[in-house]
A and B are shown apart, each in its own frame.
Chain A
């Protein structure tokens, strides 16, 4: 596609429920990132995929969070037993190469998750 696409754009869920957030990166981008952004804060790194594998998941806050990218394209961020503190905008980004090479990442429009 022309840009990074995230669905849904908004998600309201009850505390304790399971949610899935989807990201469709720019075609051909092998690097895919998930970030979380709370109000007034910068994006906080969650996980990085290179191809199908999670090269770094050190930013995932706990084991309720999990992400997959089975075919090296679309990725799904999964949150189990949601808590009110999980409420944030979840951003997906993709890039051709890594930032050390000076290549920039491009963001999707985000999914606003609200846990009530």
Chain B
């Protein structure tokens, strides 16, 4: 079992819809969770971090964390074509290591 699992996609949504990206992790001791966006040929850029159960909202983005189910998700409201990218989920491995999933490719259709 991989430490961080994501569906590779592509996930296709129409412009203006809500995109829902999911991630599960295996280490119950993980405390911090991060979502990065990566455009093709570019490096990952941080979108959000979350470490408490529940929802955290930032603009059109909402991160959701459920530690009991070992599940973290990212919702993107009013999706735009410019949101088309690969979304990487990362969790802390121990105190200092970031462990990444393989990423979910999102395509927002105009």
Once A99-B32, A104-B34, A104-B49 are accepted as A-B contacts, the answer to whether A110 and B43 lie under 8 Å apart by CB is yes
CA distance A48 to B95 in the complex (A): 11
Is there a chain B Cβ closer than 8 Å to A100's Cβ? yes
- Chain A residues lying within 8 Å of B93, measured Cβ to Cβ, are 45
Q: Which of B8-57 contact A (CB under 8 A)?
A: 8, 31-32, 34, 36, 42-46, 49, 51
Cross-chain contact A102 with B44 (CB below 8 angstroms): no
- Chain A residues lying within 8 Å of B95, measured Cβ to Cβ, are 98-100
Q: Mark A82-116, 1 if CB is under 8 A from B, else 0.
A: 00000000010100001111111111111000000
- Chain A residues lying within 8 Å of B42, measured Cβ to Cβ, are 109
Is there a chain B Cβ closer than 8 Å to A14's Cβ? no
CA distance A84 to B53 in the complex (A): 44
- Specify the chain B residue showing the minimal Cβ separation from A97: B96
- Specify the chain B residue showing the minimal Cβ separation from A6: B43
Is there a chain A Cβ closer than 8 Å to B99's Cβ? yes
Residue of A35, A43, A100 touching B96 (CB-CB under 8 A): A100
CA distance A100 to B94 in the complex (A): 7
Residue of B45, B49, B88, B94 touching A102 (CB-CB under 8 A): B49
Is there a chain A Cβ closer than 8 Å to B60's Cβ? no
Cross-chain contact B96 with A99 (CB below 8 angstroms): yes
Cross-chain contact B98 with A99 (CB below 8 angstroms): yes
- Chain B residues lying within 8 Å of A62, measured Cβ to Cβ, are none
The smallest beta-carbon distance between B48 and chain A, in angstroms, is 9
Cross-chain contact B43 with A99 (CB below 8 angstroms): no
Cross-chain contact A42 with B88 (CB below 8 angstroms): yes
Cross-chain contact B43 with A48 (CB below 8 angstroms): no
Q: Which residues of B contact A (CB under 8 A)?
A: 4, 6, 8, 31-32, 34, 36, 42-46, 49, 51, 88, 90-103
* 16 additional A-B residue pairs with CB within 8 Å, beyond A42-B102, A56-B97, A99-B96: A35-B100, A42-B88, A42-B103, A45-B93, A55-B96, A99-B32, A99-B90, A100-B92, A100-B94, A102-B32, A103-B32, A104-B34, A105-B46, A107-B43, A107-B44, A109-B42
Q: Which residues of A contact B (CB under 8 A)?
A: 31, 33, 35, 40-45, 48, 50, 55-56, 91, 93, 98-110
